[in-house]
Structure 1
């Protein structure tokens, strides 16, 4: 091919690929996944991929509420207005619904859905992860549900059925699984086929324990889905639980669509004429200009490749110039194996009104937190914008890689992230009441609304989160910065632990490695200050300080009233306990309106966790059991134990501690950390060292 024609062909092909969607995606699609690869799917909510099997809800032996979605990343064409054709499809997948307590802890079920949106995620419980509990008509979908709980609100026939849902969880038609001898709750693997034939306007659902397709469908319905199809739709699975140990697994999946006709403008355009209707006139050549034309043609043929080479050199120069930022993005994307949604920079910029100062809700050494209004979902969120420094990148990557793998009701949920245009952005759910620190100290006129029941619930919620991090994750997660300003409060005043910028992942059977001590003065365990080794016990110490702070309404290190001397909260409470007056430590702002039994239990838990001897501190699972009155309290000595360390510290105090000021903590969203030049003081045995 002539070089000039080659370049022209490439330009035309590129233009059509970008601006003609019909060339970007195939008309009829077929795929088969014996196991599910991560690169082909988007994971939302509590969903995860492990060894090629997708889990849609949390795998836990403790009853919990959960919702998750798995979406095939590439959109599928379901209709074409130019050819007036609609797709038929056939899909097959194997799934299992497993429960540790199948007789008493079941629900709610899973679904296969087709939706115009690629971020479909609903609420836990009877909403099957398909619709939001407060916006029942927002999400549009065609779904086949496999329901294991009878929900009268959605007119379910029983707790073991299949149903066809269109834009609502009130099924158009249902079928009883008992009629074919199937109990979805048994935990065994089932295989289902869902076939829709547009020509016959018919939908069939087959369900069996074996791998062979049954002769008769369990659910069959004459229906025309073309009015619900948009040109491009997304496929996926969703599931949910509510107070249940049920886990929903997708083991394999195949899909095939057919019936979309190919668009041929010569056939479909009635104004086109055939070649036979055109009179072809042979070209006329001027022999006098033949040599001139040959020279021009030769010149263009030579200059064409030269110009192309010049374009490639320029493109290479620009690519090399941008390589560093692209490499950073690729590294982060490859490391985060179970990340939530990746936002575009443009979307977050619009959501924060161009990162306008009026949207700032918190600042710190890491950067700034902005309130964002996400247009796609209509929800508000908190966007953490990291400063452009090497340390900020390290914290950003640590926080993303750690929290992206975590799912717990008492953790601030990470909604997404963005690494683009040199920006490092994390998107969290918005915490309307801000941090515990803010409620206790920065709004003195409103302190009364944090009643005793709220404070006790905060202590339980934070204990539940730490028990999950320390004992229930695949790897031990050490937070390293447990403090009141990193414990957020949601709309129901539930505690949500945030800010995982200092967190570390450690294998359960490995010893911690010494590092530079990081954290906040007043919350750091004495052995951590001395040895620089962060363990789950150092998190327990910080938890004990937070519990005492919430109960007493006093900072970990505070000034004496009307004096200049500082008071260590742990020492102060321990002295009251030794004198038999421990209830005197309860916050006076409560005006004696608190449960004395709970208050004593909470103060004793705080002291046992803040014990200077790390071996005497209880594990967080035991703490949670004590607070829920399921285990006996720990024995606490009346005098605070003394712990002796060598007189010389292994590193300077400037290297050891990154302290945090009390100002400029975020009001909403995730917690922040801000360094200051505040005085560093260590209290071990009641005296200042």
Structure 2
């Protein structure tokens, strides 16, 4: 009886295994993927939550890129006569920054390997001119008409079966879709293994069209080389500046004979990303400057009629020549003086050059907003480099931030600081030019990206910021106090390395010198309590801000957020969890179990140590670096949050000094107001009488 039961049990399990293996589905989308789930090849890279298959290369350079789901998908099943059924939905955009250049295109691909990237141009990154890659099935969205591949035009969709000569091709003009418009295009590709029918749908709308644009029959088994294949996208350019972006992707496959699925499109919020994450549509061309306008016609004077006294005429001309020469000389002297002040700054750009690079500061090129200005994406005509151009506000406060940022960051060199390429001060405009950070800011990666930022990336980012602050605090000739450490000022380069930026509120002080008092400047949630009380920023106030960033990165919550406890303050919430012995509750739930618990606990304790209300108890940033790399132990963090305490005499002295310093600032302001300049020690952070509350960026 036992043997029969055991045999029955064995066969039951075996039967369940067969059934499960025959119907198990692979399913994923951008909402569930992590960065480690994607494999980026060639020119492909991540940028603000979307995947860019190609780069903004200068004409006539060509390129190709590919992104694949990192795990192979099973397309053949033993004892199953038909291949897997699959259905995929994706949203993409193709924008050409130089409309006069020709394109390339992109394709959804099923590939036999996850390492190969083909040629650019008409080969779409699928294969090269020698036809090296075989066994690829693709649905192409082609923006380049190539006679060799029998293309019908430069705006078509085609079905490619182990060849770039499409077996089926349809003109997208017939349904009113323009691939090169820069608009978001949606596509559905459904393949039924049992019926061997593929259907392709294309639309601007989120709603799947009733009729497919392509419906064709083919046996997938005849074209794929392996039982397991890789799925993803490939794109290319041919001497153009086309940018191919995958904004959303979902995929499902199964061997279930009765499957009839279509992955739903994402919610409207995901289908309509923010302006920061959508590829810019082609900006309008800039008309050439007209040298015959009224300004060009203005001269030193116009002589009307006959001048009877030649002496007066000669005197007038002489005075005009002297005036023009003197004005030119003064401008040159001012420029030379300015250059000498920031002699270490890399380059002075011309206004015309930066205006052209940003397409006349087109609103479609806005990629962010700094503390006192707007940031634009720009392409330098002379080098083809892609840069970020910060256009500072025209207010007196904005100008002070410009000079402060330029004079400080122009002398700094560190791998974890945003690199300043140059500056411009012409036509009343003040501009700063930085390296463009392809992955945007840390806050966008944490809170706006569709993919969860993995824990190893977060650790690397925190270590990079700590290293940058250690450099500013202890390794520079003069100590630099940043005063605005927050996740939106931490930029991420192509490799997700942290680059600290926005030095508009920064101050330079001599080492071991007591800081001057100012109006507290920065962002609520990151500001140290003693800074709010006394207005004196120091390296310890930066350490507190860094601690808030650490807790933000570990928890995936903003420093001020309604969901975080009653007070809404992240630092307070994590301290309360630590007091209750539940510190790990603070961990970002989106990370699942994909982190080392001991490392996570250490990072959280570092964040609390930096967030200690007592500034003297906070570690130095050099000490933080040593803790994060394991060269030093994290100090014992008390379970109960310490209280901020001052002796009465200390508090009165601090407040008295602060009032005294602010009075001096008020006097300086009043004496300099007639000259229209601001020279108070408070700088832009202490704009007393000029809207000082604007220095507090309330979140």
In the superposition, the TM-score normalised over structure 1's length comes to: 0.49
Per the normalisation by structure 2, the TM-score is: 0.48
